[in-house]
Chains A and B, each alone.
Chain A
Amino acid sequence: AQRPLPRRARDTLQDTQATRSYLQQFGYLRRGQPEVANLLHGDAAATHEDDFRIAVKTLQEFGGLPVTGEIDEATRELMKKRRCGRPDRDNGDEGEDRRRRKR
Chain B
Amino acid sequence: FAVQGQKWKHTNLTWSLSSLRRPSTLDPHHTRAVLARALDVWEQASRLTFTEVNSDEADIVVSFAKRYHDDSYPFDGRGSILAHAFFPGSGRGGDAHFDDDELWLLQPNNDDEEGTSLLAVAAHEFGHSLGLSHSSVKGALMYPWYQGIQSNFVLPEDDRNGIQQMYGPKERRIWGKIPYYRPVETPAPTTTTTTTTTTTKRPYHHHTHRHPQRHQPGYPYRPSKYPTYYPERPNYPYYPERRHNTTEEHPRRTTHHYSRPTPDTTTPSTTYRPRYPQVRPEHPGYPRPNTPPDPRKDHPKKPYYPEKTTSRPSTTPSDKPDTCDTTYDAVALIRGELFIFKNRYHWRMGAHGRYSGYPIEISRMWSGLPRNLTHVDAVYERPDRKIAIFIGKELYLFDTQYLVRGYPKPLVDLGLPESLDRLDAAMVWGYNGKTYFYSGNMYWKFDEEEGHVELDYPRDMAMWKGVGYNIDSVFQWKDGKTYFFKGKGYWKFNDLQMQVEHERQLLSAPKWMGCPAERIGHREPYR
Measured CB to CB, the residues of A under 8 A from B are 26, 31, 33, 61-64, 78, 80-88, 90, 93-96, 98-100
Contact = CB atoms under 8 A, between A and B. Distances in A.
Nearest to B431: A95
B498 A90 contact: no
Given A84-B82, A84-B125, A90 B133 contact: yes
Interface of B: 4, 73, 75, 79-85, 116, 121, 124-125, 128, 133-134, 136, 138, 144-146, 431-432, 434, 459, 463-464, 495-498
Q: Is the interface of B mostly helix, strand, loop or mixed?
A: loop
A95 B498 contact: yes
A93 B54 CA distance: 31
Contact of B128 (A82, A86, A95): A86
Contacts, number: 77
Contact of A63 (B82, B145, B464, B495): B145
Contacts of B496: 31, 95
A100 B128 CA distance: 26
A49 B84 CA distance: 30
Contacts of A95: 431-432, 495-498
12 contacts: A33-B497, A62-B136, A78-B145, A83-B146, A84-B125, A85-B83, A86-B128, A95-B495, A96-B459, A98-B498, A99-B463, A99-B498
A85 B497 contact: no
A82 B80 contact: yes
B81 A83 contact: yes
Given A78-B145, A90-B4, A85 B82 contact: yes
Contacts of B136: 61-64, 88
A85 B73 contact: yes
Contacts of B138: 64
A84 B84 contact: yes
Contacts of B431: 94-95
B101 to A, nearest CB: 12
Contacts of B133: 86, 88, 90
A84 B116 contact: no
Contact of B497 (A31, A64, A80, A87): A31
B145 A93 contact: no
A83 B4 contact: no
Which of A33, A78, A96 gathers most chain B CB within 10 Å? A96
Given A93-B432, A99-B498, A82 B125 contact: no
B134 A82 contact: no
A84 B85 CA distance: 9
B61 to A, nearest CB: 17
A84 B498 contact: no
Nearest to A99: B498
A84 B134 contact: yes
A86 B85 CA distance: 7
A82 B79 contact: yes
A88 B144 contact: yes
Contacts of B128: 84, 86
Nearest to A25: B81
